[in-house]
Amino acid sequence: MNARKKIALIGAGQIGGTLALLAGLRGLGDVVLYDVVEGMPQGKALDLTHLAPVFGCDFKITGTNNIADIRGADVCIVTSGIPRKPGMSRDDLVKTNADIIRKVADGIKSHAPNAFVIVITNPLDVMTYLMQKETGFPTARVVGMAGVLDTARYQAHLAEELNVSVSSVSAFVLGGHGDDMVPVRSYTTCNGIPVEKLIPAEKLDAIEKRVRGSGGEVVALLKTGSAFYSPAASAITMAEAYLFDRRKVVAAAAACNGEYGVKGIYLGVPVILGANGVERIVEIELSSSEKALLQKSAQGVQSIISIL
Ligand code: TXD
């Protein structure tokens, strides 16, 4: 019989707690919730331990302030850092969160050297890049979650506009996880029908503008903190693709090595996620305006890397 998988959640805040709930409900394995705040991960773990019997879920969840407890984790999902406050850009976060990522990377390298690492902390593409550099893990085992979420936001608003099921909309949002992300209209369809044939261009422009600003829209409404349900769900789908070798095609921040004319940085591109992590970056032909936007987005990521 296979041993249960171990999922380490680094950061037990809003997203970390939701990740623990979803990992438990979806039967990913046993969960370790780690945070520097004393008592909080233990409290959330105890609460979730009490939830498990309600749904008949046999997952073991522990909370800890000792990073060594992530020992031997199969998957680490990293949310440690500070979230955006209203009016703050994702890039303002760079210095504080970089120091946190360096510490956490050191812990992952020492205690979970074979883990698949999914980074969520903002600024996403840069923190994922830093995680890979600091751990020295193969690039296939370090990936950033943003594209799944940005794509889901695009799908949600397109489905709303078309008044169809979200599952009928297939879309891609590429590029960095910032205001210059690139919704790829040319590959976005409603069950194979190009959205451009169903929705007028001006309406699509407005939807894409909203998608680019969705994170900020949530921040402005919440006033304290940023989105957490949908980011957690998005990372869980990526963890499942790895743990269950789904070979799922998703948009994710991956280490580009010349694909899309981008080299040496992490950027949101279509990837196949399976048992080896990022199995492959899928290159699709983009329109010239989409190409130009992706280049601009890559330059934005590069300029934050130079702050590090
Ligand atoms: O699409 C995406 N990638 C994102 C990213 C979508 C939404 C939010 N995104 C970013 O995720 C956000 O800007 C933050 O950088 C992270 C985590 O967001 P969350 O809402 O979970 O933030 P919280 O609730 O503040 O939780 C962060 C936790 C908090 O409990 C801190 O005590 C903890 O991180 N923290 C640490 N944990 C472990 N180790 C260290 N060093 C540490 N420092 C802080």
- pLDDT tens digit string along 205-249? 999 999 999 999 999 999 988 999 999 999 999 999 999 999 999
Beta carbons of 99 and 106 less than 8 angstroms apart: no
The alpha carbon of 199 and the centre of ligand 1 are apart by a number of angstroms equal to: 36
> What would the mean pLDDT of 37-49 be, rounded to a whole number?
98
Candidates 112, 121, 41; CA nearest to 80 is 121
pLDDT at 1 over 60: no
Instruction: Quickly state the pLDDT bin for 59 (edges 50, 70, 90).
Output: confident
Give the separation between CA 155 and CA 245, rounded to whole angstroms: 24
Instruction: Encode 95-119: b = buried (16+ Cβ within 10 Å), e = exposed.
Output: eebbebbeebbebbbebbeebbbbb
Beta carbons of 122 and 85 less than 8 angstroms apart: no
For 227, the token pair is 């989105």
Domain architecture of the chain: domains with CATH? 6-145 (3.40.50.720), 147-305 (3.90.110.10)
Decide: residue 136, CB within 10 A, 0-12 exposed, 13-18 middle, 19+ buried: exposed
User: Strand (E) positions, 91-156?
Assistant: 116-119, 142-144
Positions annotated as catalytic residues are 177
pLDDT digits (tens, 9 = 90+) for 120-160: 999 999 999 999 999 999 999 999 999 999 999 999 999 99
pLDDT digits (tens, 9 = 90+) for 91-105: 677 988 999 999 999
Give the separation between CA 191 and CA 34, rounded to whole angstroms: 41
Give the separation between CA 184 and CA 180, rounded to whole angstroms: 12
The alpha carbon of 294 and the centre of ligand 1 are apart by a number of angstroms equal to: 26
The alpha carbon of 84 and the centre of ligand 1 are apart by a number of angstroms equal to: 9
For 196, the token pair is 């451009």
Ligand 1 neighbours (beta carbon < 6 A): 10-16, 34-37, 79-84, 97, 100, 103-104, 120-122, 124, 145-146, 149, 177, 225-228, 231
